[in-house]
């Protein structure tokens, strides 16, 4: 099975609403990263997390290593938040290796 499982696979949101994306891990991840890929393909790193939480503007992310999951909360969704969100966890055998989830396709509707 997938070592990094993202949910949901796709999501449509009305502008101004809130949502949460989730990653579950079947590996002993020590760090988690969240990325946004825009329609052009460019990848932007949103968060780099050790266990705990981080917040940046309308985005907030949490990583619970004991329960093996991470969440990304989007508050007051805007049109420019549309894209594909990926989470990635470091491999439990090599901290330099990361394993990506399959992504959540987010579409924010006007």
Partner 1 sequence: AQTIHQWPVAEIKAVGSPLSLGCTIKGKSSPNLYWYWQATGGTLQQLFYSITVGQVESVVQLNLSASRPKDDQFILSTEKLLLSHSGFYLCAWSPQFNQAPLFGEGTRLSVL
Q: Supply the DSSP symbol for 66.
A: T
| Listed ranges 19-27, 34-42, 55-63, 67-75: which one lies at the site for partner 1 (CB under 8 A) | 34-42
Choose which of 3, 13, 26, 31 interacts with partner 1 (CB under 8 A).
Answer: 31
Residue 53, preceding bond cis, omega within 30 degrees?
A: no
Rounded to whole angstroms, the Cα distance separating 79 from 81 reads 5
Q: Which residues pair with 37 in a beta bridge?
A: 43, 84
Parallel, antiparallel, or unpaired for β 4-7 and 19-25? antiparallel
Residue 83 CB neighbours (<10 A): 22
Residue 2 CB neighbours (<10 A): 12
| Listed ranges 10-18, 19-27, 61-69, 93-101: which one lies at the site for partner 1 (CB under 8 A) | 93-101
Choose which of 48, 55, 78, 109 interacts with partner 1 (CB under 8 A).
Answer: 48
Q: Is 65 in the site for partner 1 (CB under 8 A)?
A: no
Q: How far is the CB of 69 from partner 1 (least distance, A)?
A: 18
- Of residues 38 and 78, the one with the C-beta less far from partner 1: 38
Q: Is 101 in the site for partner 1 (CB under 8 A)?
A: yes
State the residues that interact with partner 1 by CB under 8 A. Answer: 31, 33, 40-45, 47-48, 86, 88, 95-103
């Amino acid at each position: 099975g997938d070592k990094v499982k993202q949910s949901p696979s796709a999501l449509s949101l009305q502008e101004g609403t809130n949502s949460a994306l989730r990653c579950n891990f079947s590996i002993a991840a020590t760090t988690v990263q969240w990325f946004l890929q825009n329609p052009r393909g460019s990848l932007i790193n949103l968060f780099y997390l050790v266990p705990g939480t981080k917040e940046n503007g309308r985005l907030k992310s949490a990583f619970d290593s004991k329960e093996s999951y991470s969440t990304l909360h989007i508050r007051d969704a805007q049109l420019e938040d549309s894209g594909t969100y990926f989470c990635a966890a470091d491999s439990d055998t090599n901290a330099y290796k990361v394993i990506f989830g399959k992504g959540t396709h987010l579409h924010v509707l006007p």
